[in-house]
């Protein structure tokens, strides 16, 4: 149903890693969002009618409001996308970089008004710092906007965004339940199960692309749940793969005076994907290797990287 709808409204993009030109519907974040909301509503129904317990519903509804606003802004990006050519690759590009943070800014309001999270934080070398009003008015907005845009850095391969999302949402969801933060655990694990269903249609060869609606959604969920569960440090380590990607992209900006593409070039002899750059400007360049890799191999390698990183905070915490 969603795939047909995306085709009808024209949100299709070129599958750049295929030899033949293939247009694939884009906007998978809406599909995943519907699954997440189903899981959340089921949790609310069970607590309301069976367990007779409505504790934490204010935080839950505030989180849902933030997630909806972030996803809508990402879907606007998908709708506004136009076919462009960048670094020799032809694909859809939406809003300008300065417009994206502005669109995600309203998503911080629901958490600000309920003063979500704990205003004191333990920072290495400085100890525990009380931020007071600075936390809801500055740190929360920076966290949500930054994380929503950060997840958008690593993608472009069939199944990559969904595969990585399954790993880090599962790890963070289990940790939330481990520390007794049920609301964040429900949201994160609902996301995990929704991504598993989405991956069936997004894995190679993809029948639907995630689009910015999914990357914004995932980044927003991580930020919102980290704030609600007061697990910012655990989430930061878990998501460090994207921080590394950001540093590599910054390196490309210094060397090339523009951001390098994460995408690969098809070797006409072997059919494998290779980086077009001599230096490493993305984790996908590492995954492709010197001799090249298939699109599926790139996704599996990065999924292994994410699994290893997601395991590190568990070791540090326990």
CA angle 116, 60, 217 (to 5 degrees): 90
Task: Express each pLDDT in 194-241 by its tens digit.
Answer: 999 999 999 999 999 998 899 999 999 999 999 899 898 899 999 999
Q: CA 66, CA 117: separation in Å to the nearest integer?
A: 14
Averaged pLDDT score across all residues of the chain: 87
- Domain assignment of residue 48, yes or no: yes
- Tell me, yes or no, whether 57 lies in a domain: yes
Give the residue with greater pLDDT, 302 vs 72: 302
* Mean pLDDT confidence for 261-281: 92
For residue 32, the enclosing domain spans 2-232
Residue 291 forms part of a structural domain: no
Tell me the C-alpha distance between 306 and 241, whole Å. Answer: 7
Residue 82 included in any domain:
yes
**In the chain, what is the straight-line distance between the N-terminal and C-terminal CA atoms, in Å?**
44
Asked if residue 79 is part of any domain, the answer here is yes
Higher local confidence (pLDDT), 128 or 206:
206
Q: What are phi and psi of 91, to 5 degrees?
A: -160, 175
Q: Both tokens of residue 5?
A: 């709808």
What is the tally of structural domains in the chain? 1
- Spatial distance between the Cα atoms of 228 and 253, rounded to a whole number of angstroms: 35
Beta bridge partners of 128: 122
Structure confidence at residue 137 (pLDDT): 65
Q: Does residue 202 belong to any structural domain of this protein? A: yes
Give which of 21, 23, 27 is closest to 6, Cα–Cα. Answer: 27
| Cβ neighbours of residue 113 closer than 8 Å, sequence gap 6 or more | 62
What pTM, to 2 d.p., does this model score? 0.91
C-alpha distances (whole Å) from 261 to each of 77, 89, 156, 181 are 19, 8, 9, 38
What pLDDT is attached to residue 76? 81
């Amino acid at each position: 149903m969603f795939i047909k709808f995306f085709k009808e409204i024209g949100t299709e993009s070129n599958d750049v890693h295929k030899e033949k030109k293939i247009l694939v519907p884009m906007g998978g974040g809406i599909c995943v969002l519907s699954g997440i909301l189903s899981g959340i509503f089921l949790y609310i129904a069970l607590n309301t009618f069976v367990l007779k317990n409505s504790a934490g519903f204010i935080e839950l509804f505030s989180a849902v409001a933030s997630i909806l606003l972030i996803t809508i802004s990402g879907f606007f990006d998908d709708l506004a996308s136009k076919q462009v050519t960048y670094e020799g690759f032809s694909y859809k590009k939406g809003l300008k970089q300065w417009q994206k943070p502005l669109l995600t800014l309203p998503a911080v309001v629901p958490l600000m008004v309920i003063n979500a999270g704990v205003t004191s934080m333990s920072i290495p070398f400085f100890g525990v710092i009380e931020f007071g009003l600075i936390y809801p008015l500055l740190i929360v907005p920076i966290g949500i906007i930054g994380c929503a845009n950060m997840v958008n850095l690593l993608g472009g391969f069939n199944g990559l965004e969904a595969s990585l999302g399954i790993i880090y949402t599962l790890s963070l969801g289990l940790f939330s339940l481990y520390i007794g933060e049920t609301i964040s655990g429900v949201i994160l694990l609902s996301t995990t199960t929704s991504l598993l269903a989405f991956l069936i249609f997004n894995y190679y060869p993809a029948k639907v692309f995630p689009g910015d609606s999914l990357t914004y959604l995932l980044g927003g969920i991580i930020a919102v749940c980290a704030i609600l569960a007061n697990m910012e440090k655990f989430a930061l380590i878990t998501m460090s793969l994207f921080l590394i990607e950001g540093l590599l992209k910054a390196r490309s900006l210094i060397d090339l005076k523009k951001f390098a593409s994460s995408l690969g070039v098809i070797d006409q002899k072997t059919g494998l994907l290779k980086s077009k750059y001599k230096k490493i400007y993305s984790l996908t360049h590492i995954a492709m290797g010197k001799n090249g890799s298939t699109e599926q191999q790139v996704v599996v390698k990065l999924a292994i990287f994410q699994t290893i990183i997601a395991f590190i905070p568990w070791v540090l915490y326990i």
